[in-house]
Amino acid sequence: MRRTIFTDEHEMFRAAFRQFVDKEIVPHHLQWETDGIVPRELFSAAGASGFLGTDVPEAYGGGGVEDFTYNLIIGEELQRAGTGGAGLGITLHNDICLPYFLSLCTDEQKERWLPGIVSGDLITAVAMTEPGIGSDLASMGTTAIRDGDAYVVNGSKTFITNGINADLVITAVKTDPTQRHKGMSLVILERGMEGFERGRNLEKVGLHSQDTAELFFTDVQVPVANLLGTEGQGFVHLVHNLPQERLSIAASAVAAAEAALGWTLEYVKDRTAFGQPVGAFQNSRFRLAELRTEIDIAQVFVDRCIEALNVGELTAEEAAEAKWWCTELQKRTVDTCVQLHGGYGYMLEYPIARAYTDARITTIYGGTTEIMKEIIGRSLGV
């Protein structure tokens, strides 16, 4: 299917990033899956090649191009190569964390942090979830109590992507514990702050090369200069940035489904059963036809959402629609593709098996399918 969202400049960028993935990620991916983490040098290499912060102003070392289509290409190429787990830290850094710094930082904070974010010397993470609260952010227990020129931060976070590697952690806290949403603020915790400890690198079902950690804060002295945005407006800031986060997840989900379908088409054309290719059976053709159709339809919607995001018109409801539908599609697709691979689809040496385990979290992180439907449902007045 022809996609009109890409220009010649986009395709040149795709070719360059594909070469980067094939050289810098693919040869090491399986080892990183075993290690449970990618080396920090991957971020430095990506930064040196111009693949971090394409939308950061040139004054801070970025590309100066406000076009999420470049982020889309990065996500698509990581999935094409079957390296979504290793690349998740990069998409989190570019798609999800960076917008907070671009939209909320003071000039002083931009000068302090943006060059390192672009170069890959400063790896970012966002810490919202806490043990026991799930999607109910207003119930968080992590506090940041003002004490002169510092906030004293106490509490913990869990399931934090880039949790081990991160140097700058956008942390949701309660600056006014007596309030719910209105008591929330965002502060930047930095590597090396006394009392800021990281727990173990959590063992997950999939995405094994992506470090995911618990974070613990005990009387951490965070300078007031590290407040991101306006005190008491943390929830508003989160809500403003969540649509792009959810669209990023949706776009990667469609790309993952596309990759899974591609691997499966190759397999069913070569694998024979009862004297003919597996793909020649009517059931196989019908299932593949269904996947081809659903992926194409999802891709059109995601491309439309990206066009809307680029001109500032993407709504929270549209992002929620894209997020839940595309991630559920990803799960259905890889499940069907494993089935069509037969027993080989259960072997981790095949990328479809790794894609199967990687896909399970996508309907949970960034807001569960149920929360996405709640957002959409409320907009309908019911």
CB 125 within 8 A of CB 166: yes
Q: Which residues on neighbouring strands pair with residue 217, listed in sequence order? A: 155, 196
Strands 124-127 and 168-174: parallel
Q: What does residue 107 show for φ and ψ, rounded to 5 degrees?
A: -60, -40
219: left (phi over 0), alpha (psi -120 to 50) or beta: left
Measured in whole angstroms, how far is the alpha carbon of residue 45 from the centre of its chain?
Answer: 19
Angle, alpha carbons 50-193-224 (nearest 5°): 85
State yes or no: is 245 an active-site residue. Answer: yes
State the first-to-last Cα distance of the chain, in angstroms, to the nearest integer.
37
Per the residue annotation, which of 245, 258, 294, 318 is the catalytic one? 245
- For 364, other C-beta atoms within 10 Å of its C-beta total 15
Angle, alpha carbons 155-160-165 (nearest 5°): 105
Contacts with 368 (C-beta within 8 Å, 6 or more apart), sequence order: 135
Tokens representing 30 are 């399986």
Largest CA distance in the chain: 78
Q: How far apart are CA 376 and CA 382, in angstroms?
A: 10
Indicate which residues carry an active-site annotation: 245
